[in-house]
Structure 1
């Protein structure tokens, strides 16, 4: 018998598989397979097991068998922890800043939103090279005593003729609900306007403080030429910081209802000239 015939017989040899009952050895089922079929079934079984193992290694068993999967999970956890730490750091920093500001307020000092005292802020020349906002002694006194209201009769009353040639931009349009009354220690006017109304600077100048206090909430002050200062209290948001140069009519804050000395949404506006309060209604029309 030739070799080719032997090989053919080897492949064509059939094997009978019989399934019997254990009790009486009766035949339940039987089937025959050649070596080629056995090989194909073995190969298909191997492919099936390999594919299933590959799927499980990428899903349910990924954390044990796939190092990339574990590395991805660790990376996600690190990113989440980093975001949490960053958030906690900002919260702790904000609380520390709040406590620091409270301590300075207790000592009679005024702090801006960056943690600097207003007197430490540097007033620079504007881009045209014009130094408009020099600070005099009276202006510095307002900054030093901003949180302590002056006593009755301690200021000289100035007439509106002091600024007859100056045009002041209305900070907003609204209704004046409380007028200028130095005798009652009310050194400005209260203007009620629409919700979220933007507050504008009455004239060109430089921001000399932008801070928050328990009594008046968010406050911002602008130094104008000729040692004139405008102060805006009870804002909900401050849009400028110390040292910013602003133009007349430029938005500097948003009207609000912050601070303990407010009973509703409004803007409290004060004008100070060389340490003396002025009546804003003598220079500005609000309606």
Structure 2
């Protein structure tokens, strides 16, 4: 019974701490403190130091104190790079499938390749270029068949209001003299523009190249799919600068003016605009002077 009493007495024991001047030993201040309070203060200081050190080791000094820090950072970087590679791979697959589908459309096949690696279930054409509302409709198929030289049904010429275009600005594909106007009654579904040799031909708006090849009648031809199923076609070029599936901006060069194809009448650009299978008069929307 004596040991507990001694322990309690030691805890309750008080000490007087006096602070004196060294020169004359005069008292500056003094205070008393018990053993228990001293132990409590020391415990509190220890907890504060330990907590501060723990926080610093997990934040500012993590790179120094955490042996797994570098491994964790490397793992995070590898995961990020892996996700980027997977995203790029999926994008390449989508673009490849898009090009293959356009080739199938041009060759007359109706069955399209489904992208099994896509992250969603939208049609292939929308997954590749979601900013362009492109669906290979019957009208688009007929236009592609015509460019390929296959038989084409007589297009239904109808009056198209310009409201679908809104405030869209169209770049002139070429500055020159219009020598042959839009005349559907004579099967001339575009206009002919004469300009200097080697003059660049530009896309009228943002879009995706859906046709880029040689045809017997119209030589080198480029067709661009724009938003709302608007298609622009550039014929009789001497050089084609874009491939199927390429994204183009409005005003970007897609070809060079030429005099190719059996139906050419000299150095010029034959330019057409089609909206949902119906031809438009380009001069209603674009100034070529």
User: Counterparts of 1:103-182 in structure 2 under 5 Å?
Assistant: 116-119=103-106, 123=125, 130-137=130-137, 138-146=139-147, 147=149, 148=151, 150-151=153-154, 154-182=156-184
| Equivalent residues of 2:208, 2:225 under 8 A apart | yes
Which residue pairs with 2:261 in the alignment? 259
Select which of 264, 272, 275 maps to 2:274: 272
Per-residue deviation, 1:140: 2.8
Which residue pairs with 1:194 in the alignment? 196
User: Counterparts of 1:47-126 in structure 2 under 5 Å?
Assistant: 116-119=103-106, 123=125
Q: TM (normalized to structure 2)?
A: 0.54
SS in 2 for 1:222: strand
Per-residue deviation, 1:214: 1.2
Structure 1 Cα separation of the partners of residues 265 and 200 of structure 2: 19
Alpha carbons of structure 1 residues 285 and 150: separation in structure 2 relative to 1, 3 Å: farther
Which residue pairs with 1:31 in the alignment? none
Alpha carbons of structure 1 residues 219 and 118: separation in structure 2 relative to 1, 3 Å: farther
| Equivalent residues of 1:191, 1:266 under 8 A apart | yes
Structure 1 Cα separation of the partners of residues 267 and 134 of structure 2: 33
| Equivalent residues of 2:217, 2:261 under 8 A apart | yes
Runs of 4+, deviation exceeding 6 Å: none
Alpha carbons of structure 1 residues 145 and 172: separation in structure 2 relative to 1, 3 Å: closer
The unaligned stretches of length 5 or more in structure 1 are 1-111
Alpha carbons of structure 1 residues 207 and 177: separation in structure 2 relative to 1, 3 Å: same
Number of equivalences: 171
Structure 1 Cα separation of the partners of residues 172 and 247 of structure 2: 18
Which residue pairs with 2:213 in the alignment? 211
Structure 2 Cα separation of the partners of residues 213 and 234 of structure 1: 9
Alpha carbons of structure 1 residues 118 and 197: separation in structure 2 relative to 1, 3 Å: farther
The alignment yields a C-alpha RMSD, in angstroms, of 2.4
